[in-house]
Amino acid sequence: MMGKLETKSFSLVEVLIFVSILSVFFVIAASMTITSIRNNEVNQHKILGTRYAEELLEWLKSEKEVDWKTFYNRVPTEPSSVSYCFNEGLNWNFSNDCGTSYTLDGIFRRWAVLQQYGSDQMKIAVTVQWREYGNTYSIPINTVFSVWE
């Protein structure tokens, strides 16, 4: 006597549950990948922004070393602080607000605020700013320059 041939198969409900679990896994993996890529891009821009801020600070140091009096007199006594934009390179461009244009490398804007601090010191605040994914990021560097004569 021949026995019945039994075939095992998955029911429709089992297949739907498996596909649902698998799709949730792929959605979570894709979301984590996108978040990781965005964080990587933001970190790359933080590194580049830090480089731009340090580049400006070094340029300001060299300007101070060339001629302290000329450097110091870039800030009028009233008001005792002044802002300079450095979006178009390293040259003295006076600006009250440095505008809203992000022209440095296409996404950055960079400025320095110089403030007289006594007769032989000056406070320097360098800022690089950019917008990314709906957020505004900035790299601030603050220091004091002194004359050593």
pLDDT of residue 108: 92
Q: Is the pLDDT of residue 101 over 70?
A: yes
Segment 44-61 shows an average pLDDT of: 94
Give yes or no for a contact between 69 and 77, defined as CB atoms under 8 angstroms apart. Answer: no
**Confidence band for 38, pLDDT divided at 50, 70 and 90:** very high
Closest CA to 86 of 102, 73, 75: 102
Segment 65-91 shows an average pLDDT of: 82
What pTM value is reported for the model?
Answer: 0.77
Give yes or no for a contact between 145 and 120, defined as CB atoms under 8 angstroms apart. Answer: no
Would you call 40 helix, strand, or coil by DSSP? helix
Determine the Cα–Cα distance for residues 16 and 146; give it in Å rounded to an integer: 72
Q: Is the pLDDT of residue 149 over 60?
A: no
DSSP code for 87:
T
Determine the Cα–Cα distance for residues 122 and 147; give it in Å rounded to an integer: 9
Higher-scoring residue by pLDDT: 124, 100: 124
| Domain map (residue ranges) of the chain | 12-146
Where would I find the beta strands (DSSP E) of 16-120?
Answer: 81-85, 93-94, 108-116
> pLDDT tens, 109-121?
999 999 988 778 8
Determine the Cα–Cα distance for residues 130 and 109; give it in Å rounded to an integer: 7
Is the preceding omega at residue 79 within 30 degrees of 0, hence cis? yes
